[in-house]
Amino acid sequence: MEKRASASKPVCLSVTLQDMKMGFVFLWFMFLPMVVFADRIYTNFEDALSEKTLVHKIKITYQQLDTLPDIFDYFPNLEEINFSNNRLRSLPTSLFRCKNLRKINLQKNKFEQLPNELHHFSNLQELSLSYNQLQSLPDSIGNLKRLTQLGLKQNQLSALPFSIGWLTRLEKLTISYNNLIELPSSFSQLRSLQFLDLSNNYLEWLPNDFGMLIQLRFLYLNRNRLKFIPESIGNCQLLQELDVSFCGVLQLPSTLSNIQKLDYVYVDRRTVMFYPDPRNRFRQHIIEVDAGEINYRPSQSF
């Protein structure tokens, strides 16, 4: 009897393992359609409307769209939209009811302003609005608490709202080629910023507490009207690249020498001439940039 009992145990174990394998196979096939549809990108509204609740991503670009149809209530699971390279000037009301949106790409359109309803995108993480005609940002942009990336390159912004300082999770901000004269006093609250491009504006000064941006790794201030950089920048101990070329006769603070990770500081002839030999003043590589140079930074494509 004991032999029979012991002999039957491996059989039972074998059956159990086989059942488990079959169970995993069944689960894999059951969830496979969900994975496939989650990764599918719909490139026209007709296909999207035929599979409404399965739509997670819509990408319709280079179609010369002037408006978007007000049909986004049909897509309750929508997470990403890309309507870049069109002619859009406004957004339909139903879009603001898409609570699961995480990524919005509207760059290279005709937007002159954004609606206050932006705050409805409570789960938004990435917002691309570069290459539009934006003249201002609504205060409601500060309510996008989960935002980590914001692209505003080449618009017509002359100021930023105070509320932008509420974006405490923002890691990357690109706002080059605008008309900024100054930054709001709340700017130093963006303490998650790692990448900041403020180049090609009209900035004359930076807040004295700019050094509170302690997560900064890449800082581009080139082609502004700055006369000095605040001493507090020495607190940005993670800074790796600093571009201050073509800002006029710009005085670099001695606190730069305290930043151990800073490898490259980009200047121009007038900045270099401000010191007899700036290479002896700082540990970092001081690189003089010529006016015609474009792609001169290691992280140019970041």
Q: What is the pLDDT of residue 31?
A: 47
In a domain? residue 79 = yes
In a domain? residue 16 = no
Q: What is the pLDDT of residue 228?
A: 87
Q: What is the pLDDT of residue 37?
A: 53
Burial grade of 42 (CB within 10 A; 0-12, 13-18, 19 or more): buried
Q: What is the pLDDT of residue 248?
A: 80
Q: Whole-model pTM?
A: 0.84
Transcribe the chain into DSSP letters.
-HHHHHHHHHHHHHHHHHHHHHHHHHHHHHHHHHHHHHH-EE-SHHHHHHTGGG--EEE--SS--S---S-GGG-TT--EEE--SS------GGGGG-TT--EEE--SS--S---GGGGG-TT--EEE--SS------GGGGG-TT--EEE--SS--S---GGGGG-TT--EEE--SS------GGGGG-TT--EEE--SS------TTGGG-TT--EEE--SS--SB--GGGGG-TT--EEE-TTSSS-BPPGGGGG-TT--EEEE-HHHHHTSS-GGGT-SSEEEEPPTT--S-STTTT-
In a domain? residue 21 = no
In a domain? residue 58 = yes
Domain range holding 278? 39-288
In a domain? residue 152 = yes
Q: What is the pLDDT of residue 283?
A: 65
Q: What is the pLDDT of residue 291?
A: 75
Domain with residue 79: its CATH number is 3.80.10.10
In a domain? residue 104 = yes
Q: What is the mean pLDDT of each run of 10 residues along the chain (302 residues)?
A: 46 52 52 57 97 97 98 98 99 97 98 94 98 98 98 98 98 98 97 98 96 98 92 96 88 86 88 54 75 70 45
In a domain? residue 72 = yes
In a domain? residue 230 = yes
Instruction: Give me the number of domains the chain comprises.
Output: 1
